[in-house]
Structure 1
Amino acid sequence: MSDNGFTTCPYNASHRVPRSRLQHHIVKCQKVNPELWICPFNATHRCQENLKENHYNTCPDRPHDIALPKAKAAKNSTVGAVTTPKPILQKDYLPENDPDCEYWD
C-alpha cells in the first residue's frame, strides 16, 4: 500500500491523515494537545519551541528572496504585510461605480 498521500500529525505521531485533510485534522488535534510553534511560512508545519529556529532556517516553504536576518527581526517572527488593509465598502463594487462595467440590457 502506497503511503504517498498521507502524512503524520505534528501533535500525535500515531495519527496518519491524508495530506488534503491535514489542516482540518490539526485544528481538532491542537485543542487537546500542548501548544506547538506555528511556522510563519506554512501553518501545517508545527514544532516544539526549542526546535523553531532550526525549522525557520530550513523550512522548504520559506521564500528564497527573504533574507533570514530581516525576516527574524519581525516582532512575532512572521513575514507579511505590516499595515492594515483599507476596508472596501460594498458600494465600491456596485456596477454604477465600475467604469469597466458593461451593460447588456
Structure 2
Amino acid sequence: MENYYGLHTDHPLLKLLNLREMWLKFQTVLSPCPSYGMTDKALLECFYRSLGLENRSKVNQLFTGGVLCQPYEVIAKTLDGMVEVNKETKKEKEWNTLVTKLDALSN
C-alpha cells in the first residue's frame, strides 16, 4: 500500500478520480490556507505524489520530461485549462440532454 504524507493512494475511491478532479481537490485544499513557505516545487511534488500510478503516468505524458521537470506555473495553467474544458463539455452535454427532453415532450 503506497503511503505519502499519510495519504493512502491506493484507496478505491481515489482510483475513481480523474486527473482534473484531483487537481480541483488539490486547489481546494490549498486555497483557504497559506502554503506555509512551501516552494512551488514542493507543492507540485505534493500534488504529484498524491496521484495514483495510473494518473501519474497520464500526467507525465502531458509534459515533456515529466511533470516534476516543469515550472509550477506551466502545470497549473495546463491543468486549469483542462478543468475549464471539462466544465464546458459538461455544460454542453447537459444542454443537449435538456434539448432532447424538450423535443420529446413537444412530440
TM-score band by shorter chain is 0.3 to 0.5
Structure ID, larger Rg: 1
The structure that is strand-richer by fraction is 1
The TM-score normalised by the length of structure 1 is 0.33
Relative contact order higher in (CA < 8 Å, ≥ 6 apart) = 2
The structure that is helix-richer by fraction is 2
The TM-score normalised by the length of structure 2 is 0.32
